A and B are shown apart, each in its own frame.
Chain A
Amino acid sequence: MKNKLFEKYFVFSPYFWLVLFFFIPLAIIFKISISVSEWGMPPYQDIFLFDNGFKINTTFENYVYIFSDYYYIGSFVNSLILALISTFFCLLIGFPLAFYIATSNIRLRNILLVLVVIPFWSSFLLRVYAWKIILQNNGILNVILLNLGITSEPLQLLYNQYAVIMGIVYTYLPLMILPLYGYLNKFDLNLIEASKDLGLNRIKTFFKVILPLSVPGIVAGSLLVFIPVVGEFIIPEMLGGSDRLYYGKILWEEFFVNRNWPGASALAFSGIIILVLPIVIFQILYSHWSQKNEI
């Protein structure tokens, strides 16, 4: 009996986790997002009032406010585009790396895997800050370019969207490589040889055999990169300039600079819904598809 109980809790532990750290915070955010703003601490009114009898004090003003101002929607679109581009580059760099790691011999494979994971051992902030030092006007990269005579004056490498993309690709690459590796590790290399034997060259073999069979790994890695990048705050803040505003930054400002908690909560809640719904639908469709195709 004791064992059965343990099993039960063990199976349900992900759901406890989900409820405790996702649904409850989400509910709190939703509650704040439909509250009326107020100058005070906390900066919103209660939603249940008991002054003159019971009264529900809610408003959707905050949602109307953020959806009627392109400032908010635009920043979200910027973040989506940033996440798409970053995911694409992570995939472009990560796939060959993951494939190479998965197909190399065990000793080399372990060394390469450690190399992929090592950056996690140092502070994330420190690593992004290091890029700032490399890219700044009198940084290493500009010094090298100047000394080689490639440019006559320092290039403005920092504080633009390209620096942000580079920083994100650098930071999130392991999150792409590891799930891809986990999947490609099981790849039957005979399939590649069989494809070549049947007359397909390397490029055709890649598109007809390797790519279709890697779809689950690609999906896993891409979601792992895409979702957190949409809300990424620190990298655009440190490497980005004023040329583009991103969702994470707007959210932070709304909360901590404008102290508009209901507005910020409405923004956060909308973001989650817009992001999670399509992904859930995609996951359901995808699991149907992959079951049908038995990948």
Chain B
Amino acid sequence: MDNNFLVIENISKSFGDNKVLENINLNISKSEFFGLLGSSGSGKTTLLRILGGFEKPDTGRVMLDGTDITNLEPFERPLNYMFQSYALFPHLNVFNNLAFGIKENFTQKEIEINVRNIAELLSIEHLLNRRIKQLSGGEQQRVALGRCLIKKPKLLLLDEPLAALDKKLRSKTQLELTTLQKKLKITFVFVTHDQEEAMSLSDRMAIMKNGLILECSSPEEIYENPKSLYTANFIGIANIIEIYKKGENFYSDDLGINFKLNKELKNTKTNILLRPEKIKIQSINNLKTSSFNSFSGEILEKSYLGSFTRYEIKIKNMIISVLDQNFNSNSNYNFPKGEKVICSWESESIKVLED
């Protein structure tokens, strides 16, 4: 795979004294669905706007398919940008919104054919004569997408593509968006603050914070092996435990138990991550507490989530989250509030957060 389709090199950007991006480097492959994930103020939208040509970076350059596009105007770039607000033209109907970007270079007949094709692809044929204000949020999103895709861009930039949709529509659209992207093989780069959205859409994603990229990898890798404390907390539910070396093993003051790690550590003191679904929960009668990688605690809170039950378990000074999959429909399998239970995990499930 061509790893140098979109190359972002040493991009920095400040607005006045406010440093928004600091030395950003990213390589994105052709046909990749790439996510930029960060909370507000992380600089993710500014980075996307630099790619779109709406902001000029202070330093660095952007290469797209071997061409330097850093100094090109938005209308000279072979890419398109889908706005969070969709920015559809209120004075034009759906047909003319879709045709807006191809009116210049195409004959009337070609325009008709192209618009019909794109409308069919997005199932909006029946809306072509509607005005923008007559469309629902989901329909507007499709028109905005179609208006970009009709230009057959090399790269499509999407600013919070699903943020304006309600929750049910969002998950449906997520699936459609990935299917569409795999079908068209256009490179998608999108920005989101929603970690679930980033995980489900991205082939790879970058976590941004304060104008820096903390990590860039596949969603699985970032979830399972986060490198930093920030990422571990930002993605999914995380139990973060501080441990320090005590003799052969590691010890946590908060939990009052010993940890056995499979690898050597640089520091004598560190944070470890234990994802809640990696913890096995058993009735105290079934098992004896072992001295390593397990503890006994009391169920403080419990919320039934359908396929899972989430428990908050108090052990000494700490509350640990545990997700237990509901295998059986037998309700005895669920532990009641206040029950003493034993939690255990595999040594491999413990992830050391070095940073």
Contacts and interface: CB of A to CB of B under 8 A. Distances in A.
Contacts of A194: 81, 83, 87-89, 147
Contacts of A191: 87, 89
Nearest to A193: B54
A201 interface: yes
Interface of A: 188, 190-191, 193-201, 204, 208-209, 212-213, 293-295
10 contacts: A194-B81, A194-B87, A196-B75, A197-B74, A197-B77, A198-B151, A200-B104, A201-B75, A213-B90, A293-B131
B91 interface: yes
B100 interface: yes
Contacts, number: 66
A193 B104 contact: no
A29 B52 CA distance: 63
A295 to B, nearest CB: 6
Nearest to A208: B100
B147 A198 contact: yes
Nearest to B150: A198
B133 interface: yes
B80 interface: yes
Contacts of A188: 85, 87
Contact of B80 (A198, A212, A295): A198
Given A188-B85, A199-B104, A213 B91 contact: yes
B348 interface: no
A294 B90 contact: yes
B83 A193 contact: yes
A36 B48 CA distance: 78
A209 B89 contact: yes
Contacts of A195: 89, 100
Contact of B73 (A196, A198, A295): A196
B81 A193 contact: yes
A190 B80 contact: no
A20 to B, nearest CB: 39
Contacts of B276: none
Given A197-B74, A199-B151, 12 more contacts: A193-B54, A193-B74, A194-B87, A194-B147, A196-B53, A197-B52, A197-B81, A198-B148, A199-B75, A199-B104, A294-B132, A295-B91
Contact of A190 (B53, B75, B85, B104): B85
Secondary structure at the A interface, as helix, strand, loop or mixed, is helix
B73 A190 contact: no
Interface of B: 52-54, 73-75, 77, 80-81, 83, 85, 87-91, 100-101, 104, 131-133, 147-148, 151
B160 to A, nearest CB: 13
A199 B53 CA distance: 12
A293 B91 contact: yes
Contact of B91 (A196, A197, A204, A212): A212
A201 B73 contact: yes
Contact of B87 (A190, A204, A208): A190
A198 B90 contact: no
A7 to B, nearest CB: 30
Contacts of B88: 194
A217 to B, nearest CB: 13
B91 to A, nearest CB: 5
A201 B73 CA distance: 9
A212 B92 CA distance: 10
Nearest to B52: A197
B59 to A, nearest CB: 23
Contacts of B104: 199-200, 204
A294 B130 CA distance: 12
B90 A200 contact: no
A197 B75 contact: yes
A188 B101 CA distance: 19
Contacts of A213: 89-91
A212 to B, nearest CB: 5
A196 B89 CA distance: 13
Nearest to A191: B87
A199 B89 CA distance: 15
Contacts of A201: 73, 75
A183 to B, nearest CB: 13
A295 B132 CA distance: 11
Which of A188, A190, A195, A208 has the most chain B CB atoms closer than 10 A to its own CB? A190
B101 A198 contact: yes
Contacts of A198: 75, 80, 100-101, 147-148, 151
